[in-house]
A = this chain, B = another copy of it.
Amino acid sequence: MTKTVFFISDGTGITAETLGHTLLTQFPTFTFEAVRLPFTNTRDKVKQAVERINRIACSEDSAPLVFSTLTDPLLRDHLSICRGEVIDFFAAFTNPIEQILGLKSAPVAGRSHGIGNLNAYSSRIDAVQFSLQHDDGSASRDYSQADIILTGVSRTGKTPTCLYLALHFGIQAANYPLTDENFGTKILPDPLQAECSKLFGLTIAPERLYQIRQERRPNSAYATMEQIRRELRAAESLFRRAGIPYLNITNFSIEEIAASVMQQASLMSKNLI
């Protein structure tokens, strides 16, 4: 079964989409067709959205779902007349939280994913710059400013995780690849020795890494099962010997790796709430 789902917001639509996506994953037998309507912040734009929702309601045999994070009560009223089933985020939660805090809310559009605190925002941009400069072993003489250094063999998710940590949490994340060259000596490479307490290892099941490397460089020496098993064995034994905490990321998404690393390494977000 397919159903159209609208994500309607006066800002980026990230909250509406996160909310809706999380709820809909609990109904795996349905297929959902997403329509994103960000920056719906005027009466005219809401009117256009209502028309679009009503057209879908006519053409499909059931009302579309509408996840709304409109903040302005007037715009929410305008939306409520549509022929979709509206799940109104602020209507559900604002009142309970006002009661708890003993305070009226001050509805402002687009606040949750705007620039907000300029210092916190700048720290995210700076962290992205840092992660790019310290990607894949680059600038490894200078790890003093790093909050964390991810290490592991090629294709264990180091780079995307560093970028995710930087973009979302302003964490200065470097990464250092482990290769055959490093395994010869059985001790930590020099740049890592100096900042041992910032190290965090990533590892993966050989079968999954085989799949990933074969897609990337089919039939190369780099993608043989023998090479992969040797690298992973050597990396994990290095982690254990040097007392580096590590994580097996085989079934983990970037978001899950990032959340786990932050939790295990006690990293704090520099993004204020």
Q: Do the beta carbons of A167 and B254 come within 8 Å of each other?
A: yes
A159: chain B residues at CB < 8 Å are 128-129, 132
Contacts of A39 in B (CB 8 A): 259-260, 263
Interface positions of A from 91 to 133, Cβ below 8 Å from B: 92-94, 96-97, 100-101, 103, 105-108, 110-116, 121-122, 124-125, 128-129, 132
B residues in contact with A106, CB < 8 Å: 26-28
**Cα–Cα distance between A63 and B156 once the two chains are bound (Å):** 42
Name the one of B103, B116, B121 contacting A29, with C-beta atoms under 8 angstroms. Answer: B103
**Do residues B20 and A18 form an inter-chain contact, with CB atoms below 8 A?**
no
Task: Tell me if A192 is interfacial: C-beta within 8 Å of chain B.
Answer: no
Cβ-neighbour of A115 out of B22, B71, B114, B251 (below 8 A): B251
B253 near A121 with CB under 8 A, answer yes
B-facing mask of A66-100, CB < 8 A → 1, else 0? Answer: 00010100000000000001010110111011001
Contact A101 B27 (CB under 8 A): yes
Residues of B within 8 A of A26 (CB): 71, 90, 94, 105-108, 111
- Additional 10 contacts, C-beta under 8 A, given A27-B101, A34-B269: A13-B259, A21-B273, A23-B94, A24-B97, A26-B105, A34-B273, A113-B256, A115-B252, A121-B253, A132-B132
A21 to B114, CA, bound (A): 12
Bitwise interface map of A from 138 to 176 toward B, beta carbon under 8 Å scored 1, else 0: 000000000000000000010110011001000000000
Establish whether residues B22 and A69, one from each chain, have CB atoms under 8 Å apart when the complex forms: yes
A107 nearest in chain B by CB position: B26
A32 sits at the interface (CB 8 A): yes
With an 8 A cutoff between CB atoms, is A19 at the interface?
yes
Hey, which chain B residues are within 8 Å of A94, CB to CB? Answer: 23, 26
